[in-house]
Structure 1
Amino acid sequence: MIEGSQYELQCDVQNVAPVHLLTVNWYKGQHLVKSVESDHHSSITPVNYSNTLWISTSKDDDGVQYRCEAELKLGPEGPQPPPVVTSDPLNITVHCDCPIKLQPVKLAVEFGASASANCSTTINHHGMGWEASEGAVDMVDDVQFITWRVESLTHWDIEPICYINTNKQCELTLQVTVYKRPDRVSISTVGHTGPMIEGSQYELQCDVQNVAPVHLLTVNWYKGQHLVKSVESDHHSSITPVNYSNTLWISTSKDDDGVQYRCEAELKLGPEGPQPPPVVTSDPLNITVHCDCPIKLQPVKLAVEFGASASANCSTTINHHGMGWEASEGAVDMVDDVQFITWRVESLTHWDIKPFCYINANEQCELTLQVTVYKPPDRVSISTVGHTGPMTEGSQYELECDVQNVAPVHLLTVNW
């Protein structure tokens, strides 16, 4: 490899199940550089899975070994420690024929903070300097040492280059990651207020405001002091501050009453960044669970194709003053002295329907039926982007899969 260049490494995991419980860990020597949880939920039978890691090379990487490992996180009921299969090491060789050295070779700098790096050489009879959008240093003759320095870094995409002129000019780029801690991290319940009902599912959302760079962001979800999920951002669109959101589905039980959920935004800037990594945590979200509503839904969840029929039963074993269904389609008026009542729609045409059964005993309580309305795609097509005719051996091409008119898109998986 060439010093100062970027390369993509790929970890191939063959014939693993279940893939949604797979985590790929990347190591540089003995240092864990990245941990990625699979987001594939399409199969419980064995499949192949691949994950990639971009690396930037420096002189110090010559002779370094990279490896990846596949870890099945099966929870406390699985074997301890979790099953792990590790790749053979990949040995890195880095060529460098430019007689200058950067110290450090990488920087992680908070926006607005100071930054500096040194460039040195051991040869004579030359000129050397720094090119940069901030802190440029004009070429100086016959020195062995020159410093790039900025008192307040305000360029997001800065790439300082140290150059030297001998018989020819050569240069080395300082890798600078400019970061910004979030202004605020908050947690909320999506589409719900008030107490939760035992046995139901709810969606929590973590909102991270004004953070950079988003591709180095990890959102950690906690239930009390227990880490329940860690999600690395897959957004690579911006190095300037953006807002980012992540969601977590929870199922409630009696034991969840009084539990606190929180989320934290962690910027994993690598060994060149501050240690420990910058973390901003949300205020806790207090969960209240009501479990004294004496009704039962059968089924508790439905997946219905748009336009198809749907039905569910609501039952109770107590005496009451009336029970019924409220819904944008198929509502059932309150009825006295029954133990069983059915919600039914012959042709479901509401995408966001949320039927709930209610009962009036000493007070009114209710239970919501979870309905997913779906629509298979009208058409799926594949094409080559920006190219027609035969392909050339050894070249790269982009294929595109177009899925037309599908819902809900968050449950869609595209398999290549």
Structure 2
Amino acid sequence: MDIWRAAVSLPLHWTVSILQGKGRRLGVRPFSACPPPSHARAKMTAALFQKVALLLSFLLPDVRPTPCDLSIQPVNPIVPFGGSVTLNCTSSCANDTQLKWESSVQGGIQQADGWTSVSFDNITGWDFQPLCFRGSTQDPVRTLVYLYQFSSPEIHLASDIMAGHWHTIVCNVSHWKVSDKAPHNIDLSLSSGGRILSSSQGSSSLQYASVAKLEQDGAEISCVARLELGQEVLQKTANGTLKVYAGPHNVTVSSSVSTYKAGSSITITCHADGNPDPEFAWKLPSRDNVEFSDSNRTITVRSAQGSHNGTYRCLVQNTYGNTSAELDLLYEGASRSWVPIVVVVVLALVFLFGFGVYSLIRK
């Protein structure tokens, strides 16, 4: 096989001489006992060489060098604006020592057989694409660094939300930006108590309007912003607390009795809803022997007398309104003390009427 390899690499007349010499050594007769003319001999030699070369192209292995494949990891790293990143370039040739980096920012390089790495700090270029290469005969490989700015969402709530009135919750991301060539999308969602109130896609602002209820006071509102960047999802959350206010309402006054006798003990209670908690005051027939408790919600009349007969009015107020409710108490002693007098008067009138009628009849 060596003679055929040599035939490929040597000039034509050398190859023919070698082949002829090889033939003599092997006891093979030369091409022709009677050499043809020189021009015919040249054509025959050329044709023979072409056939030999064609045969060798199928038999001999390809001796061209195999290129070394390069790759960069991570691919399209996601880095915050002004952040840092480390890139690794590896070669499929384990002993490759010709790897180099090229970029618009200088970085710290480390290198060994078959690989090289570079670290970049304070990256601010929105089209930052470092490349790795070996020599000038092979195409370089590059990666685009996905740079981003992404501020936390903000929740805006009205300062005075009144129960029974419409109010609006606003959530927005004030600033965000990504590399122009980076695939991206931004989503927002508002939720409370695990329930989604509203959501949006492709917008950095979101609003939700509803009628406020007093039971919603103190409810936590969450706004979640999701930035899909390349193959990753960046998420940030903001929380706010709903404050719902209401004037006094559902005011009621109740008493342990509706009528009483002298010396009785009477308890009267006033109830009202509101936020902030309402304040209580009373307008009473008499304040004698009256005790106040439970932040003036309850009054107790010790040893009630006739002077305590009448209307008990509860006055309720807070920052957002005022109202009242009332209750009447009837003193039994006061109402029944007239019964004997009325009976006597009626009997007297009957007696006088009867006596008058009797007198007229006798006449």
TM-score bracket for this pair, using the shorter chain length: 0.3 to 0.5
TM-score normalised by the chain length of structure 2: 0.40
Which protein is richer in helix relative to its size?
2
